Structure 1
């Protein structure tokens, strides 16, 4: 891992990319933050704003994903998630936490419509916390009409390496 403070120019470019990818709430957060840091690991990079792990990117993937840490902080504050989300049944939770993709039969509710390729978050059955972040393999409209198949590719889940690094960042306060 290497740590890099983003220059004003790099921060501005990050804000532009976030705004163009529909993550305007995060663009505003990075625009207003005092210190923006990039923590670069072998397979992913975590973007930290004022000591809080906010976003990550995987090597070879152009998408920005919010960390489960920031999504759960927002949920606990009563803020609406900045990305579409869906709810799964109890039977889907354990496989998802082990890295499985979200399958159509396990989805019980869509909180917001989404298209194929969009970044999506997954809530546990009681809707108290997010357990997975990934990208849609089919639109929410199509997912409602099918009985089988993968709906969301699981990219980040509770207790994975990104989650553990986020907790380490908070403990260290980069």
Structure 2
């Protein structure tokens, strides 16, 4: 995500109809897992916000909490705030980064190969991954792999993961309002 919170502008926000809610459940189950679909079913209010943003098209709120966002042309990613609040993590593979990489990632930087110290799960390019802090094992960002897990293990340098959402970005800030 870009660093400027001014770029994220909500154009409209409304409750989803039962039909649209059911469609959303199916999409969320496919992309995020059954637990996310169950959370949509359990929610009293399911809202969508249409946004003006270069990388995002829609925000989805479950009982007034930002749960996930639709990346323009690329499906859903969960809100990190919702991951922590609902204690619910998508079934994405994980990469663990060293302490030196954490401040850079929390500033919006992409993940470079040398910063990755551990990989959980196999993945190919263009796969969503959780980016975790090695020492604390907490999720600090969600990204899109630019290399496969095997390429990362055998590479010495290069950009491995494009950061999509991180603690402290505009989506996080909107979640905590």
TMscore range, shorter length: 0.7 to 0.9
Following the alignment from structure 2 to structure 1, what is the Cα–Cα distance between the partners of residues 33 and 166?
A: 20
Q: TM-score, normalised by structure 2?
A: 0.83
Q: How do 1:1-174 and structure 2 match up within 5 A?
A: 1=10, 2-21=12-31, 23-43=33-53, 44=56, 45-58=58-71, 60-73=72-85, 77=87, 81-168=90-177
Q: CA RMSD in A?
A: 1.9
Structure 2 vs 1, CA of residues 63 and 127 (structure 1 numbering), >3 Å: closer, same or farther? farther
1:81 to partner: Cα distance: 4.8
Q: What stretches of structure 1 move > 6 A for 4+ residues in a row? A: none
Q: Which has the higher helix share?
A: 1
Q: Which has the higher strand share?
A: 2
1:22 to partner: Cα distance: 5.0
1:66 to partner: Cα distance: 0.8
1:95 to partner: Cα distance: 1.4
1:71 to partner: Cα distance: 2.2
Q: SS at the partner of 1:90?
A: coil
Contact 1:25–1:82 (CA<8 Å) still a contact in 2?
A: no
Q: TM-score, normalised by structure 1?
A: 0.84
